[in-house]
Amino acid sequence: MSKPMKSFSGRLTRIIVIIVLVSMTIISFLAFILTASAFYKSFREHFVDAIDNISSNITLNLEKVEIAAANIADEVTWHITSPEIVTSTLLYEIEVNRTLTGCGVGFVPDYFPEKGRWFEPYAQYTENGASVQDIGSDSHDYHQCEWYTSGLSTRDGIWSRPYLDTDGAHTLLCTYSLPIINADGEIAGVLGADLSLIWLTELMHAIDVRENESGLLPSIMGNKDRGIYSFILGPDGEYIAHPDRARFLNGKNFFDYADDGDFGQYRKLGEAMCDGKTGEDIVLMDDRRYEVFYAPLSDSGWSMAIAVPLISLLGPALSFGAAILLLSLLGLIIASLISHRAIKKFTRPLVKLADSATEVARGKFDTPLPVIKTEDEIRLLRDSFDNMQQSLSKYIADLTETTAQKASMENELDVARKIQMSMLPITWPAFPDRNDIDIYGSVTPAKAVGGDLYDFCLRDGRLYFCIGDVSGKGVPASLVMTVISSLFRTLSASEDNPERLMSVINSSMAARNESLMFVTLFAGALDLETGELKYCNAGHNVPVVLEDGVPRFLETDANVPVGIMSDWKYSLQSTVLSPGSTLFLYTDGLTEAARVDGSLFGEERVFSCLTGLNATTSSKDIVAHISAAVESFVGDAEQSDDLTMLVIRTIRK
């Protein structure tokens, strides 16, 4: 009774269990550290919420200005009958709308004739109370100011770019402009409600200080580095608010401060803010990577952003990750040492088996395999190697015999190819003693032997010729090709008419065509004295006539290939070739030569190769020219069909 087999995998499993237990102990010890990795997500959520809350508060203040401006514009429109009433109206409104730095109306030139070209009553509230004064003059031509010109072109109100007001509020401002429409529907002037950018900048600064002192992020920035900061952009990227006030006073905007190394991402951020989108991006600004959170401010066209140094967010996470990695690595080393010693002991038989397998791989098939005493998977593996060793020995013997047979077959195919090629005309020039005809042909089989053929002979001043393509490839096609070639040579020695020659070949092949093969065949007889060409086409590719460098197809009837219908009546056709013309015949291996992508050489490329060839180009050169074009076209693609060309050129005397 055999002993029950002990599982090698079971013993290995116990080792793995020990490794997992050790690893899990370390992982459990570090579990609380892994929770710290969630801080990055929480910080991001904090700033997303912060930008939302802050932008809501600023939007509320901007909307207050817009609402107040709309109310003042209504009051001014209602009391626009006299400049004194307009002035008192502005004085009253500035007292009740303390959110405004100031407000004024710039009237169109000479609206009140008694006030002249410039009349701009401006009201503001200072420490000494509310006051109003006319600040329009030739030295302060408000008609050229942006807040005025943009107010004329809008109906719904518009915010101006930041500017330093030196005549009214004497501070940094953004103005919300509304047109004043009188009772006649005409624009009387523009109301400007001013918002102090000093106030807005101080608000943004307070936000920055609060965020930097919140304790959410560790203080890892150097003294010279900017920490968390916020800014506001206008619709064209101009700075509305920024810790560096010079940025909205020097005429530059957000896009002017792009770093060369990250211009694309920087511009993407600016365009997203100008388009009023909400989101976040990591951008290189002021030589430092920031994660920028941004959101639009109401319908003002402004957009607010909070920039957080990326190192502030990633630094602690990387530190925690490094600690986890080091401790995990330590645990892995300990587990590996334990498992290595144990597995080495259990796998020693495998080493011996591998050594024997190496000798077998070197060709020593009689190498003895080690004796395995354990009843487990290693024993089964050894027995499998033993079976493989015996099968391999038998396979090598069979392979040796097969290789010898293949070599003999290849040698026989090579002999067959040489015999087949010897049956075709291969001596060039074919008629060295004649100066009125130049003929050249070539056959390129797709396999060792092929089914294409061409042949010709000269008798009684006429050139009898043919070109054909047997269906299929390889040995069967080559045998049929041999029969057709022999029939042509025999018949052309006595038969003058190509259609009778075609009919005899057709009936002869159809009578013994048990394999249902057929041949496309073109046969012709060319009178070298008169240029008359009699021909018959049995389903073959239409030949091309080249005259004065211009190719054209030869007109042919639609006859069936030979070998299909024994009683088919083939038609005879004739034409006259002018002296110096060329007849180009080919098989479909030319037009169907294919690239790797499946595109074909085609008839258009054949015509392109022939176009422009002069009457002195030899037949051999024409074949070489087209062969080179085909080779260049197909590239590395494998030849799929036999390719045969025959060129007959008549020479002018």
Domains of the chain: 200-313 (3.30.450.20), 353-415 (no CATH), 423-650 (3.60.40.10)
Secondary element (H or E) of residue 20? helix 8-34
Return d(Cα 599, Cα 29) in angstroms, integer: 65
Return d(Cα 647, Cα 625) in angstroms, integer: 12
Per-residue model confidence as pLDDT tens digits over 51-96: 777 778 778 878 888 888 888 888 888 888 888 988 888 888 888 8
Return d(Cα 199, Cα 97) in angstroms, integer: 15
pLDDT band at 418 (very low <50, low <70, confident <90, very high): low
Beta-sheet pairing, 302-309 with 462-470: unpaired
pLDDT score, position 416? 55
Tokens of 134: 């006319």
DSSP labels, 498-547:
HHHHHHHHHHHHHHT-TT---EEEEEEEEETTT-EEEEEEESPPPPEEEE
Helix orientation angle between 474-492 and 377-422, rounded to the nearest 10 degrees:
10
Q: How far apart are the first and last CA of the chain?
A: 105
**Are the CB atoms for 157 and 179 separated by under 8 Å?**
no
Return d(Cα 179, Cα 157) in angstroms, integer: 8
Contacts of 430 (CB under 8 A, 6+ apart): 439, 440, 456
pLDDT score, position 467? 95
Return d(Cα 434, Cα 487) in angstroms, integer: 26
**Residue 471, exposed/middle/buried by CB under 10 A (0-12, 13-18, 19+)?**
middle
Beta bridge partners of 103: 123, 193
Return d(Cα 479, Cα 471) in angstroms, integer: 11
Place of tokens 């896009």: 255
The rounded mean pLDDT for the chain is 81
Residues 374-413 as b or e (16 or more Cβ within 10 Å = b): eebbbbebbeebeeebeeeeeeeeeeeeeeeeeeeeeeeb
Residue range 324-332: mean pLDDT, rounded? 67
Contacts 24+ apart (CB under 8 A), 370-378: 374/6, 374/8, 374/349, 375/2, 375/3, 375/4, 375/5, 375/6, 376/5, 376/6, 376/7, 376/8, 376/11, 377/7, 377/8, 377/9, 378/8, 378/349, 378/350, 378/353
pLDDT band at 240 (very low <50, low <70, confident <90, very high): confident
Cis link prior to 429 (omega < 30° from 0)?
yes
Place of tokens 């045969």: 644
In the predicted model, is pLDDT for residue 221 greater than 90? Answer: no
pLDDT score, position 224? 40
> How many CA atoms within 13 Å lie on the side-chain side of 499?
14
- According to DSSP, residue 111 is labeled S
Q: Bigger pLDDT: 204 or 640?
A: 640
What share of the chain has pLDDT > 70, as a percent?
Answer: 76
Residue range 552-559: mean pLDDT, rounded? 93
**E strand segments, 127-255:** 129-134, 158-159, 163-164, 172-181, 187-196, 229-233, 239-241
Per-residue model confidence as pLDDT tens digits over 356-376: 777 667 766 667 777 776 766
Return d(Cα 266, Cα 254) in angstroms, integer: 9
Residue range 579-602: mean pLDDT, rounded? 93
Place of tokens 């626009």: 80
Q: Which of 253-257, 339-343, 380-384, 387-391 has the lowest mean pLDDT?
A: 339-343
pLDDT band at 340 (very low <50, low <70, confident <90, very high): low
Residue range 148-173: mean pLDDT, rounded? 82
Return d(Cα 109, Cα 119) in angstroms, integer: 8
| Order of strands, sheet of 550-553, starting from the edge strand that comes earlier in the sequence | 437-444, 643-650, 582-586, 544-547, 550-553
Query: Which of 143-152, 224-233, 334-343, 421-430 is most confident?
Result: 143-152
CA 223 vs CA 219, 226, 247: distances in Å: 10, 8, 21
Which amino acid would we find at residue 432? P
In the predicted model, is pLDDT for residue 333 greater than 80? Answer: no
**Residue 163, exposed/middle/buried by CB under 10 A (0-12, 13-18, 19+)?**
middle
Residue 558, Cβ neighbours under 10 Å: how many?
A: 7
| 444 SS3 class | strand
pLDDT score, position 420? 64
Residue range 137-159: mean pLDDT, rounded? 87
pLDDT score, position 16? 67
- Name the nearest CA neighbour of 239 among 192, 310, 176, 172: 172
Return d(Cα 350, Cα 356) in angstroms, integer: 10
Q: Bigger pLDDT: 580 or 389?
A: 580
Q: Bigger pLDDT: 516 or 611?
A: 611
pLDDT score, position 455? 94
Per-residue model confidence as pLDDT tens digits over 472-524: 777 788 888 888 888 999 999 999 999 999 999 999 888 877 778 899 999 99
pLDDT band at 324 (very low <50, low <70, confident <90, very high): low
Contacts of 98 (CB under 8 A, 6+ apart): 125
pLDDT band at 632 (very low <50, low <70, confident <90, very high): very high
pLDDT score, position 220? 41
Return d(Cα 562, Cα 503) in angstroms, integer: 8
pLDDT score, position 230? 82
pLDDT score, position 482? 86
Per-residue model confidence as pLDDT tens digits over 434-462: 888 999 999 988 876 778 899 999 999 99
Residue 115, Cβ neighbours under 10 Å: how many?
A: 15
